[in-house]
Amino acid sequence: MLLFQLLISRIYNLQFSPLLRSKKHSIMNAKLSDICIGTSAAPTYLPAHNFQTQSEDGKFHEFNLIDGAVTANNPTFIAISEVTKQIFEKTPYFKNFDEMKPANYGKFLVISIGTGSAKLEHKYDAKIASNWGIFGWLTDGGSNPIIDAFADASDDMVDYHISVVFQSVSSQKQYLRIQDDTLSGADSSVDISTKENMDKLVEIGTNLLKKPVSRVNLKTGLFEHLGTTGGTNEEALKEFAKLLSEEKRSRNSKV
């Protein structure tokens, strides 16, 4: 199993390139506050964020950032890709893993925790969309059809692809996706920060731990509860924690 210290920020650089760097680069040692503001600067909701960092040689580097969701609404695949790259580059994290192959996904443990999504609704059809112009695609009934389509498609493709990869090597239990896709109303909104709504989201997250583990049905592309055979999300997280703890002890014993 793979356990190491790596920070991957899901941010999009307004110079039109995704910003994917680990903390080993000194120029990327930004303040956590700047990272959080940058990665949450969702277009139409929050303003773009500008800040500077200083490298060890005294040079300044400027960042102009918006929400990384425009690149990867679900950053799970980026995390896997970064680990894979570090394996074949034999970085310090993996210098003692000569037997480890970059695409050996059977050795990966992946926990992907979503922030919730709206309940699947068939709000649009071709008859409705065929009458939309530019503004219709941007806003309809209080929603943003084109943005919703891009974001949902990005999420779904990542979930589907990773599920296929792990199931193909009989390691489906090593990919845990925890997501509530049944939210509605204020619960599914991204810009309601009242105490009442925050408390409700905490309640939703707590209840989610008690729900059965879900896995993508490769025939339909939809997540389905595994029922009693897969246990609950809470039980799965405890099992992952146990595996990671055992791996940490094993590595410490070899030092």
Q: Is 84 a member of any domain?
A: no
Is the domain of 244 the same as that of 173?
Answer: yes
| 3-state class (DSSP) for residue 223 | strand
Please check whether residue 15 is in contact with residue 64, taking contact to mean a CB–CB distance below 8 angstroms.
yes
How do residues 161-171 score in pLDDT, each as one tens digit? 888 888 888 88
Q: What is the pTM of this model?
A: 0.77
Residue 189 structural domain: 108-118+160-254
Q: Is 39 a member of any domain?
A: yes
pLDDT at 102: 62
Is the domain of 113 the same as that of 230?
Answer: yes
Compute CA distances 27 → 24, 30, 58, 61, 171, whole Å: 9, 8, 10, 7, 37
| 3-state class (DSSP) for residue 67 | strand
Does the structure show a pLDDT above 50 at 1?
no
- Please report which helix (H) or strand (E) contains residue 236, including its range: helix 233-254
In terms of pLDDT, which residue wins out, 94 or 229?
229
Is the domain of 226 the same as that of 112?
Answer: yes
Is the domain of 112 the same as that of 233?
Answer: yes
Sign of the dihedral defined by the CA atoms of residues 3, 106, 79, 193, in that order: negative
- Please report which helix (H) or strand (E) contains residue 225, including its range: strand 223-225
How do residues 110-123 score in pLDDT, each as one tens digit? 999 888 887 777 77
pLDDT at 255: 63
- C-alpha 138/C-alpha 150 separation (Å) is 12
- C-alpha 165/C-alpha 103 separation (Å) is 10
pLDDT at 6: 44
Number of domains in the chain: 2
Token digits of residue 182: 């049944």
pLDDT at 8: 47
Please check whether residue 10 is in contact with residue 65, taking contact to mean a CB–CB distance below 8 angstroms.
no
How many CA atoms lie within 13 Å of 229's alpha carbon, on the beta-carbon side? Answer: 6
Is the domain of 205 the same as that of 114?
Answer: yes
Task: Say what the alpha-carbon torsion angle 8, 60, 15, 151 is, to the nearest 10 degrees.
Answer: 30
Q: Is 200 a member of any domain?
A: yes
Does the structure show a pLDDT above 70 at 246?
yes
Is the domain of 62 the same as that of 170?
Answer: no
pLDDT tier for residue 23 given thresholds of 50, 70 and 90? low
Q: Is 64 a member of any domain?
A: yes
In this structure, of 45-54, 187-196, 202-211, the range with the lowest mean pLDDT score is: 187-196
Q: Is 232 a member of any domain?
A: yes
How do residues 76-97 score in pLDDT, each as one tens digit? 888 888 888 888 887 777 766 6
pLDDT at 213: 93
* Helix residue spans in the chain (DSSP H): 32-39, 76-89, 126-129, 134-138, 145-168, 195-209, 233-254
pLDDT at 4: 39
Does the structure show a pLDDT above 70 at 74?
yes
How many CA atoms lie within 13 Å of 234's alpha carbon, on the beta-carbon side? Answer: 7
Please check whether residue 212 is in contact with residue 228, taking contact to mean a CB–CB distance below 8 angstroms.
yes
Does the structure show a pLDDT above 60 at 29?
yes
Is the domain of 60 the same as that of 113?
Answer: no
Is the domain of 211 the same as that of 114?
Answer: yes
How confident is the prediction for the chain on average, in pLDDT? 81
